[in-house]
Amino acid sequence: MTETFQPLQGIRVLDFSRILAGPYCTMVLGDMGAEVIKVERPGIGDETRAWGPPFVGGESAYFLCVNRNKKSITLDLSTRDGQTIVRELAAQCDVLVENFRPGTMEKLGLGCDALRGINPRLIYCAISGFGRSGPDKDRAGVDVIVEGVGGLMSITGEPDGPPVKVGVAIIDVATALHAHGAIIAALFERERTGQGRRLDFSLLEVQIATLINIGSDYLIGGVVPKRWGSAHTSIVPYQAFEASDGYVVVGAINESLWARFCEAMEQPQLLEDPRFATNRLRGEHRAELLGLVQPIFQKLSRDEWLDRFRGQGIPCGPINTLDEVYRDPQVEHLGIVQEVDHPSAGRIKLAGSPIRADDSQLPVRLPPPRLGEHTEDVLRDVLGYDDERIRRLS
């Protein structure tokens, strides 16, 4: 093991974000060593604190999963004292992240122009549902709505079923990862220019960007895509198949793998069938091919098929339930699940950072904070308030 990878050590982040996209972004920054100060509403805090069950030690599992490596302070932003503290903190911070509706911070006198007037080096990152301008700028933007508006739900689900959302708020997560990368790039740029940046991200734009080849099929070819379930739009076979006791995902992504797929299934005649001679032809005759191979899959168990396909070097895997995921030997070997002591919940398990550097994992330095747990510490250590001034603010 080498020294822990903490490239953002010394960077201070002022985090006004709630729910998922913003908190996930700032959590990643915290994982890499940044000091993250999470600003929450007194008595209420981040909405996800109440999003349960399950709860442990008075905290929701939802809140715990995206708020490690942060400190929590409570401020009433509608008051003069609260706004003054924000300005003083902004002067001492490198990055600010917020995901209020566009214009909210400006109405409080805490917008980008005002705070960068105090600290020109500040990198101000705003996340919204639909962007800071345009006819929909004031719409509330949550992941499932944007998945619908941005087309993701139209291509997700079984061909003969209704559109469905992805099982997790994937656009929130994708937005968080775009935002954290841009923040790091802006910090790098600041080393050359001495100036901060305003960064804006909308879930809608990230949703459009993540359509990748499906979006390109429409933009270039005019093809309005349909839902394919677990199947691929243009590669066949590349999907889940039902074995006798569960599901197997298999991907024959080239002609060599197609030949090995037929060998593993002990169906050499498929290689000789002119309908399936190329991937393009297999796509044109998808229904006929699937009608032939699906009954064969049901003759053997999931593990028997996996042994066959792995033996042929074919990309494959089971569709695991989460209890199977967390006891999978490879997941256990990687050690992504970490344990941390929480002040009210006791010892809890969290999925840690997937980032590795020189074989070193990023640690959970701080457990997800209790509401306002670090208010006095931040006022004292960052702003230099004495005990009497802190007492007057209480």
Cis amide linkage into residue 120, ω under 30° from 0: no
CA proximity to 24, closest of 70, 72, 75: 70
What is the spatial distance between Cα 336 and Cα 349, in angstroms, rounded to a whole number?
10
Contacts of 294 by beta carbon, 8 Å cutoff, 6+ apart: 241, 242
Contacts of 232 by beta carbon, 8 Å cutoff, 6+ apart: 238, 239, 251
What is the spatial distance between Cα 132 and Cα 137, in angstroms, rounded to a whole number?
5
CA proximity to 164, closest of 172, 156, 152, 176: 156
User: What is the bridge-based pairing of β-strands 356-357 and 247-251?
Assistant: unpaired
User: Does 387 participate in catalysis according to the annotation?
Assistant: no
What is the spatial distance between Cα 339 and Cα 160, in angstroms, rounded to a whole number?
43
The pair of three-digit structure tokens given for residue 152, joined into one six-digit string? 């993701």
Query: Do the Cβ atoms of 6 and 33 come closer than 8 Å?
Result: yes
Looking at beta carbons, which pairs linking 105-108 to residues 24 or more positions away fall under 8 Å? 105/16, 108/77, 108/78, 108/83
The pair of three-digit structure tokens given for residue 302, joined into one six-digit string? 């999931």
Query: Do the Cβ atoms of 314 and 326 come closer than 8 Å?
Result: no
Q: Which residues pair with 351 in a beta bridge?
A: 337
The pair of three-digit structure tokens given for residue 280, joined into one six-digit string? 């393009």
Q: Given 46, 172, 273, 323, which residue is catalytic?
A: 172
The pair of three-digit structure tokens given for residue 248, joined into one six-digit string? 């197997």
Main-chain dihedrals φ then ψ at residue 369, nearest 5 degrees: -80, 150
**Residues classed as catalytic:** 172
